[in-house]
Amino acid sequence: MSITMEKLFNLPDLGEGLTESEILSWRVAEGDTVELNQVIAEVETAKAVVELPSPFSGVVKKLYEPVGAVVNVGKPIVSFEVAQAPGTSSPEAPRADAGAEKPQPTLVGYGAPTESSGRPARRARRTGAVSAQSPLNDEPVGSAAAAPPVQATDEVEAETRAEASRGIGHLRSSPPVRKLARDRGIDLQSVQGTGTKGLITREDVMHAAPGETSPDRSTSSKNAKAAPAPAPSSGDTRTPIRGVRKATAAAMVASAFTAPHVTVFLSVDVTETMALLERLRASKRFAGVKLTVTSLVAKVVTLSLARHRALNSQWDGENREIIEFGHVNLGLAAATERGLMVPVVHGAQRMDLAALAAAAGDLTHAAREGTITPPQLTGGTFSISNVGVFGIDAGTPILPPGQAGILAVGQVRKMPWEYQDEIALRQVMALSLSFDHRLVDGEQGASFLAEVGGILEDPGMLMGLI
């Protein structure tokens, strides 16, 4: 005779220290029978959409979070009724009444350990030189580093305790929602929650009419009124800041205010390179391979980085070291429906042009289809962004965190150009190189860009680098 036990499944750590995920869909419902490793949910991290497999065979007892909820790593999302023979115990997961602190098998690991506050703790940062098979923790642009876990300020915690003492806790709202209500002068007592079990959501507060602050707030502020929010318009839209957009914003701010950026520009006559590109596309060796201008630039960059290692390095302030990498993990910025993402071709220096083009095409396709995995978005050592596909000549790209350089490739367009002491109509491209001035001197950055531009102007110069 067998008995059943309730088993909790906590949101797993999906890799690289990601601290939260949004539930996009449930593939099961309460009461469904599931098998081990059956996909039960689809979640979106700051980097990718991931399918979660069931860690148990049994019956779904409870779904703890609705679709659209953003859940911290280590928090329960579903429980199962699992059959178990009498007299045996399962080390696989904690009992339903044992809390979420004990480790349990998950999709990737045991999940982020929880602190006394119940929030997931950050992993310790890995340092030192890293091989191509062990990518860095530092994040590229579009998946740029996931934002660190938000720690509640003393003020918010104090307000939360005060609200609990006033009996507001039963209104079922999160601290950020309560803070929003205070800022807008909304009395939560008058707000009808539309979330699960009456949860008051951010949208409920945003749609509530501003008015007097709560009685306690009014007393402490001598009947002062909160500043009214801008009047909503029928054409306004509000989108939660989460996922890729949230991670990208955090990474860009961190990079812009950490690394001193310098950008240098160079316009190049790429007529010969474009002719070479057409010949390669027509050859049997590249049959079935999508060769692009970016592919050629990527190959030139990987070869040039071996001669200009300062551009393929990292500033490790924590250990007071500069790491010069012996490999090239090349990030390739891609615009997707979820936002900017930067897939990484690991070990790009070992690939020939055909292999590099194929790898870049596969990763970019996966990013746009939403099937790319977190490891494929991390560990970049240098990046390329083709802004020319949007009809742009040049720009000043922001460095991905942890990288020393990023090259923006502009559009190729015909324009008058000096050629063999005459004015001719040539195909011209602008290159923009941003670099970290702590790691790269002006001469080093200019020398690298001049070499890349020189090869694109005369691709026969590649022979000098092979």
- Higher per-residue confidence, 231 vs 356: 356
Give me the residue label for tokens 């991905």.
400
Amino acid letter, residue 395? G
How confident is the prediction for the chain on average, in pLDDT?
77
Please give the CATH topology (third level) of the domain spanning 258-464: Chloramphenicol Acetyltransferase (3.30.559)
Q: Beta partners for 330?
A: 345, 382
Closest CA relative to residue 239, chosen from 332, 339, 380, 343:
339
Mean pLDDT (whole number) for 306-318: 93
Cβ pair 365, 335 in contact under 8 A: no
- Give me the pLDDT at residue 229, please: 57
Starting from the edge strand earliest in sequence, which strands make up the sheet with 39-44, in order? 49-53, 39-44, 20-26, 70-72
| Burial class of 126 by CB neighbour count within 10 A (0 to 12, 13 to 18, 19+) | exposed
pLDDT in tens, 46-66: 667 788 999 999 999 999 999
- pLDDT of res. 38: 92
Give one word for 331, left, alpha or beta, with left for phi > 0 and alpha for psi -120 to 50: beta
Q: Comparing 3-84 with 154-220, is the CATH topology the same?
A: no
> CB-hemisphere CA count at 13 Å for 398?
17
Lowest mean pLDDT among 44-53, 196-205, 387-396: 196-205
207 is catalytic: no
Q: For residue 396, which amino acid is it?
A: T
Domain 3-84 fold is OB fold (Dihydrolipoamide Acetyltransferase, E2P) (2.40.50)
Taking the C-alpha atoms of residue 436 and residue 443, their distance in angstroms, rounded to an integer, is 13
Above 70 in pLDDT, residue 105? Answer: no
Active-site annotation holder among 170, 308, 346, 437: 437
CA dihedral 82, 85, 89, 92 (to 10 degrees): -40
Q: What is the CATH number of domain 154-220?
A: 4.10.320.10
pLDDT of residue 353: 94
Q: Residues 285-302: pLDDT tens digits?
A: 898 899 999 999 999 999
pLDDT tens, residue by residue, 392-446: 999 899 898 899 999 999 999 999 999 999 999 999 999 999 999 999 999 999 9
For 305, list phi and psi in degrees, rounded to 5: -65, -25
Q: What is the pLDDT of residues 135-144, one digit of tens each?
A: 333 333 333 3
What is the predicted pLDDT for the residue at 129? 37
Q: How far, in Å, CA of 330 to CA of 299, rounded?
A: 10
Name the band, by pLDDT with cuts 50, 70 and 90, for residue 106: very low
- Compute the average pLDDT of residues 29-47: 88
> How far apart (Å, rounded) are the C-alpha atoms in residues 99 and 286?
57
- pLDDT value at position 151? 39
Number of other residues whose CB lies within 10 A of the CB of residue 425: 11
User: What value, to the nearest 5°, has the Cα angle with vertex 267 and ends 264 and 269?
Assistant: 150
Structure tokens at 392: 């742009």
**pLDDT of 36 over the 60 cut:** yes
Percent of the chain with pLDDT over 90: 44
pLDDT digits (tens, 9 = 90+) for 248-281: 777 777 777 778 899 999 999 999 999 999 999 9
Is 60 exceeded by the pLDDT of residue 131? no
Which residues are CB-contacts of 239 (< 8 A; sequence separation ≥ 6)? none
Confidence class for position 309, pLDDT limits 50, 70, 90: very high
CB burial of 68-82 (b: ≥16 within 10 Å; e: otherwise) equals ebebbbbbbbbbbbb
In the predicted model, what is the mean pLDDT of residues 187-197?
75
How far is the C-alpha of 291 from the C-alpha of 313, rounded, in Å?
28
Which residue ranges make up each domain of the chain? Answer: 3-84, 154-220, 258-464
Of the chain, the end-to-end C-alpha distance in Å amounts to: 71
- 89 burial class (0-12, 13-18, 19+ CB within 10 angstroms)? exposed
pLDDT in tens, 158-188: 544 444 444 444 446 666 677 677 777 787 7
- Kindly give the interhelix angle for 293-305 and 271-282, rounded to the nearest 10 degrees: 110
Q: How many CB atoms lie within 10 A of CB 144?
A: 32
- Give 225's contacts (C-beta < 8 A, 6+ positions apart): 185, 212, 213
Q: Which pLDDT belongs to residue 170?
A: 42
- Number of H helices and number of E strands within the chain? 9, 19
Quote the pLDDT of residue 1: 56
The pair phi, psi for residue 210, each rounded to 5°, is: -60, 145
Alpha-carbon span 176 to 390, nearest angstrom: 38
Phi, psi of 454 (to 5 degrees): -65, -40
Q: How far apart are the C-alpha atoms of 111 and 218, rounded to whole Å?
A: 43
What's the confidence (pLDDT) of residue 435?
96
Name the strand (E) or helix (H) holding 422.
Answer: strand 422-436
DSSP state letters, 35-75? -TT-EEEEEE-SS-EEEEEPSS-EEEEEE-S-TT-EEETTS
What is residue 51's predicted lDDT score, i.e. its pLDDT? 86
pLDDT at 347 (0 to 100): 96
H/E element holding 341? strand 339-341
Q: 28 forms bridges with which residues in the sheet?
A: none
Q: What is the DSSP pairing of strand 3-10 with strand 49-53?
A: unpaired
3 Cβ contact list (under 8 Å, min separation 6)? 83, 84, 85, 86
Q: What's the token pair of residue 249?
A: 């914003």
pTM (2 decimals)? 0.56
